[in-house]
Structure 1
């Protein structure tokens, strides 16, 4: 295929046929299988059914390239309609059998055009060395490697029960109470939204991104999306009952049909509460809770900025080992 034959089409979520959805899902599954051959496959019907899902305050613009009935390229541009109005996030996938033929570049050009039309001056995207060519593709687009990250993996069978016991032990005078939730209670929703904003203190590298304001509506939107996609989220939070303040939290995610792998999401402790072992306690308590909540989990993966020394140190002590090098990129549009 030559570049002159490439036609980028908008993917219309509301009118896409089941066959079109399945064709896109086949492409996504093929790309995932090449990058993560040891993982359980993605659930094709679920991928097809949830294409283009987004929060009410977001806009997602998906595009595809077809060759006959086969979708060989897929891309999406997404951005908030209420915050970081200068930025958009991009994702581009090309079928392994159709790479190095200009498909990715045609999709990237379309996303750039859309970003400009919507007044965005920054496009962010991520690459992993699980797809080595992606790094060079990002460079060829003029991308700036703004935040190098380490993705780590923990073998559940190798977790030290003694270490978890030690980290979960709290002093008799400890003021904190541990909560374990799969859905955040209404009574804690505002406090949880405020706590999640602590993630703004995590390293951003050179990313030209403003702090995010997390709202209760966003949390409920995330929960609704996860429910539609069949994903489970386990949230652990430490509360100071004397004040009602939530001082720290951590989250684990998994899909029951791919339960051998769980993902450690955000872990954050308020700056004024750091130094009391809350981060270790929350992560250890989550690992102790996981077998009952998600039997059969064999691996846990998480990502941290390379410069986030404190969180990396906790993960290394737990037994997380390097799994992949991930880079957050940005392209600044003139």
Structure 2
């Protein structure tokens, strides 16, 4: 391993960026070809336009100018300053040679240098009757002292999975359950200026509401400035949010929210379901189902090239899993977050 260099990927180094993307492409083809393929444009632009509320780095293992593996790492920079995460990927032709351990060691050293004490790695797993996945990722994490902390289920849904009559019936039932108490508002792209503050407030509840397993993360404080910064990044990367929310007519506050993210690339047929959240005080009115069906229709109308929407939910998130099953989502596989505390 002495001939391997660990470098921080420079977004301006076209050859190394291409090499890093080739690692992701080859690993996808070998490990999970049924899952959405990595998108080269999004990868390159994501390096140039980092997430505003995380400090990001990509650590690469290089030998003779070729990228063998990488750790795509991030560190929250507003809350959860104890935390760091990484996804480690090694080119299939260079596995079992210590490349993964080398980039993991570099990630751990980088995290310690930033004062982080809790780290996570993620990997795919087999789930129920889904596609069988290798156990290599789990074994790698456990070998290096990481323990499973959160499991989620990856599901996919064709945009036309539901029979149109059934979809209309589900929509009308959810509209009846919601009644007249809510104004339903949709948009494509940036959050409208007059809704920024209320959307920031509902976004700030996400980590308090979604199941986190054994991960110890405090809720984030989202504000209008951060939402605009994230919107700037989406626009720079060609990522288009399609969003539908329910506003409480009594207060004007957003109390339920869903979003699907598509790429500004007609050749890319996958889209990604973001967090769907309903304020606890407003549950029981089928708002989750209502918003997701309306948003699905917006996806179909505005991006007819999209064929599949992908989502993941914590394995214990029964309410959202129930909605997704009704809408036609099918299990692909699972993923898990493995956690290690450096001061333990």
Return the TM-score normalized by structure 2: 0.90
Cα 1:57–1:105 change in 2 (3 A) is same
* Aligned match of 2:138: 135
Q: Decide which of 154, 173, 178 is 2:184's aligned counterpart.
A: 178
Structure 1 CA distance, aligned partners of 2:320 and 2:330?
13
In the TM superposition, 1:70-89 aligns within 5 A as 70-89=66-85
Q: Trace 1:45-194 onto structure 2 (pairs within 5 A).
A: 45-51=41-47, 53-129=49-125, 130=133, 132-169=135-172, 170-171=175-176, 173-182=179-188, 183-194=190-201
Are 1:283 and 2:292 matched, yes or no?
Answer: yes
1:319 aligns with 2:328: yes
**Deviation of residue 108 (structure 1)?**
0.4
- Tell me by how many angstroms 1:259 deviates: 3.6
Please say if 1:232 is aligned against 2:222: no
What is the CA-CA distance between 1:97 and the residue it aligns to? 0.5
1:305 CA drift (Å): 0.6
Q: Unaligned regions of 5+ residues in structure 2, if any?
A: 126-132
Over 3 Å counting, the alpha-carbon distance change for 1:245 and 1:49 in structure 2 is closer
The structure 2 residue matched to 1:254, chosen from 246, 252, 262, is 262
CA distance in 2, matches of 1:159, 1:27: 36
Alpha-carbon deviation of 1:179?
0.9
What whole-Å deviation, never above 9, does each CA across 1:180-227 have from its counterpart, x for those lacking one? 112201110010011112322111111121122222222222212221
Matched residues, number: 330
C-alpha RMSD of the superposition: 1.9
Where in structure 2 are the equivalents of 1:209-224 lying within 5 Å?
209-224=217-232
Output the TM-score relative to the length of structure 1: 0.92
> What is the match of residue 129 of structure 2?
none
Instruction: Say if 2:205 and 2:220, in contact at 8 Å, map to a contact too.
Output: no
Deviation at 1:125, TM superposition (A): 2.5
Q: Between 59-68 and 47-56, report the one with greater CA deviation.
A: 47-56
Of the three residues 278, 283, 302, the one matched with 1:274 is 283
